[in-house]
Amino acid sequence: MTRQLLRITTAGSVDDGKSTLIGRLLHDTDSLPLDHLEAVTDEEGVADLAALSDGLRAEREQGITIDVAYRFFSTANRSYILADTPGHERYTRNMFTGASNAHVATLLVDARAGVLRQTRRHARIAKLLGIEHFVAAVNKIDLVDFDKARFAEVEADLRQLADRLGAAELTVIPIAAKLGDNVVTKSTNTSWYDGPTLLEYFEGVELSAPHPESKNLRLAVQWVSRPTTEERRRYTGRLSAGTLRVGDPVLSLPAGTTSTVTALDTLDDDRAVAVAPLSVSIELADDIDVGRGDVFVSGATEGDAAVLPVLARELDATVCWFIETPLRAGDRVALKHGARTVRATVQALHSRLDPETLDDLDQPVELGLNDIGSVTLRTSSVVVADEYATNRDNGAFILIDETSNDTVGAGTITEAREVKPGEQARHDIRWHPSSLDRDYRWGRTGQRGATIWFTGLPASGKSTLAVAVERALVEAGQVAYLLDGDNIRHGLSDDLGFSAGDRAENIRRVGHLTRLFADAGVVALASLVSPLKSDREIARALNDAAKLPFIEVYVSTPRTECEKRDPKGLYARARAGELKGLTGVDAPYEPPEGADLVLDTTGADIDQLVSQVVELLNQRR
């Protein structure tokens, strides 16, 4: 029979006795190696229980917990992992880490001091992280002479706190960790208390697998391997929800490709069905394009249809901020969600939690060190997300400073939204036409604006042609400006990668820019691979809506010729397996079906090609 594992986090203010409590649990459950116990026992045979879990030298010297210390113990019924998290406010982020995967939150409260600011903060973080089981240990009850009235006062404050947080369950236990009262064994000093001991409470907590139905499958891919050349690819990760067995249909997101599981391995050779939170390795019937950070979900379409996550570009989230430099609207950070890392921009700060009152303060200017607040984040590419209340693993993330690579925050998703570039109507703002009539502007400047969009494979010659057209127009006394794809990614789109979603967003931004340039009377030239027809149509639609000339030039140089040129070495790297997602090699290019002009630069006279582009421009304006 498999033993259940219960994860516990302890939290409280400084000197509430967390480390001593953990030491008592380890000691009284016979979970300590003899040499470890001897190392913290003085000449009189008295063990320093706190030192059993304070592992850092700085912790022992200062008498406080700094880092998260994980300790393991077991009983006849189950195994335990207990996280001793810091009580000091400066180390709130470590408490966040320790509570992130816990089943039970143990709040330590000094019977003399009662509920403090840090008690409220830690309780709020535990609730934020989806912990459903709360137990409050009113420690040092011996220092108030095991007074029932004092215990009742503290218990009333704790229950009021639980009501404010909406905690479904709270058990309050009077303990004396140093002496062992009501920790593992019942105390004779609290005859007025008839509830469980702390260990009895832990033993009675009921656990179940998260969403144990196949339709809720979530398997984030952490590693892709091929053990031998004769075997198919293996996709390895940990189930965060659902079940999986051989024969199950699966859907890979965000790509949307489907296949069927043909082999399933877990650490248990006899297991036919994998359930969360087991780690698994699977084989599929098809060699589909799946990489680290992708997510397998159920591919069932009939009967008990799959419950799918959101392919999100916008996240409403609750964030705990870890560093002294404040978080403000407009800041950009890296967002790590599972095994996938994307760039994110803070769209808005909605509220900040007051740790004293637990009230939400609306419209904060910033989030400072250890602040908890609700924010909206816009990601550079798709995040396969669930709400945290539904799936703790797939609804959580951390925020990383891109310069220092430090973890600067952590958050939980309250709502995930799909955002399709160019298709989101804005109701809070409206377009302001220029006070100058377009015809008047163009008449006074003597030039009419337009957009020329060059598309084609990498190394097809589109940038060379665009540069030559720009020079020809300027030498003819016209105002023209080339928006080169690489230059755009150095500034306007430096937050974007090269996924399908990022490419679409880059083209949307450039499309809006060409529209503004053309409206001002400038000939805007855009040179981008822009491989998908749907993306190019966004740029055309933006200009067509403004009644501005838009000329699509398809540079149709064959791929073989492009590979011969390969000025940046991209094709060579792609063929060697060093570069993934290169258009024309392992990413598609959709040739325009109705391009305004089709030009092949293979052996062509560049001046003749320029003349064709300029002639068409003059006809359209």
**Which pLDDT score, from 0 to 100, does residue 60 have?**
40
Structure confidence at residue 1 as a pLDDT band (50, 70, 90)? very low
Beta bridge partners of 292: none
Domain boundaries, given as residue ranges, for the chain: 4-204, 214-298, 310-417, 438-620
Higher pLDDT, 437 or 592: 592
pLDDT digits (tens, 9 = 90+) for 287-313: 888 889 999 999 887 767 888 999 999
Whether the per-residue pLDDT at 621 is higher than 70: the answer is yes
How many Å is the Cα radius of gyration of the chain? 31
Rounded Cα distance between 467 and 562, Å, is 18
Is a pLDDT exceeding 50 seen at residue 59?
Answer: no
The per-residue pLDDT for range 555-571, each reduced to its tens digit, is 999 999 999 998 889 99
4-12 and 78-84 as β-strands: parallel, antiparallel, unpaired?
parallel
478 burial via Cβ count (<10 Å: 0-12, 13-18, 19+) = middle
Return the pLDDT at 500.
65
The H or E element that residue 611 is part of is helix 606-620
- How crowded is residue 225: how many other Cβ atoms within 10 Å of its Cβ? 10
- Architecture (CATH level 2) of domain 438-620: 3-Layer(aba) Sandwich (3.40)
Residue 501: pLDDT band with limits 50, 70, 90:
low
Place of tokens 């808005």: 348
What fold does the segment set 4-204 form as a domain? Rossmann fold (3.40.50)
SS3 for 228?
coil
Q: How many helices (H) and strands (E) does the chain have?
A: 15, 26
Q: Taking 80 as the threshold, does the pLDDT of residue 499 lie above it?
A: no
Residues paired with 483 in a beta bridge:
526
CA distances from 414 to 98, 129, 343, 398, 593 (A): 21, 11, 19, 15, 43
Q: In the prediction, which pLDDT does 97 show? A: 72
Distance in angstroms (rounded) separating the CA atoms of residues 577 and 580: 7
Kindly provide the b/e burial profile for residues 410-428, where b requires at least 16 CB atoms within 10 angstroms of the residue's own CB: bbbbbebeebebbeeeeee
Residue 479: both structure tokens together? 């105002």
H helix intervals, 232-289 = none
Mean pLDDT of the chain: 86
Query: In whole angstroms, what is the distance from residue 348 CA to residue 350 CA?
Result: 6
Q: What is the pTM (predicted TM-score) of this model? A: 0.68
Instruction: Reply yes or no on whether the pLDDT at 45 is more than 90.
Output: no
pLDDT at 38: 63
Rounded Cα gap, residues 525 and 521, in angstroms: 13
pLDDT at 57 over 80: no
Residue 417, beta-bridge partner list: 314
pLDDT in tens, 515-559: 999 999 999 999 999 888 888 888 999 899 889 999 999 999 999
Per-residue pLDDT tens over the stretch 69-93: 788 888 988 999 888 776 556 666 6
State the pLDDT at residue 61. 43
Helix (H, G, I), strand (E, B) or coil at 534: helix
Q: How many angstroms separate the Cα of 335 from the Cα of each of 132, 314, 320, 490?
A: 26, 12, 13, 20
Q: What is the mean pLDDT of residues 125-140?
A: 89
- DSSP class of residue 543 equals H
More confident residue, 244 or 580: 244
Percent of the chain with pLDDT over 90: 47
148-179: pLDDT as tens digits? 999 999 999 999 988 888 766 799 999 999 89
Q: What percent of the chain has pLDDT over 70?
A: 89
Active site members: 530
In angstroms, the Cα distances linking 551 to 238, 257, 408, 441, 518 are 49, 34, 46, 22, 12
Q: Three-state SS for 152?
A: helix
pLDDT of residue 56: 38
Query: Does this chain's domain 214-298 share its CATH topology with 310-417?
Result: yes
pLDDT value of position 58 = 41
Amino acid at 541: A
- 241 close to 215: Cβ distance less than 8 angstroms: no
SS3 assignment, position 440 = helix
Instruction: Report whether CATH 3.40.50.2300 matches the domain 310-417.
Output: no
Q: Is 31 helix (H, G, I), strand (E, B) or coil?
A: coil
What is the per-residue pLDDT for 51? 59
For residue 62, what pLDDT is reported? 44
Query: Bridge partners of 332?
Result: 345
The pLDDT value given to residue 219: 94
CATH topology of domain 214-298: Elongation Factor Tu (Ef-tu); domain 3 (2.40.30)
* pLDDT exceeds 60 at position 63: no
189, pLDDT greater than 80:
yes
Question: Angle 117-128/92-99 helices, nearest 10 degrees?
Answer: 40
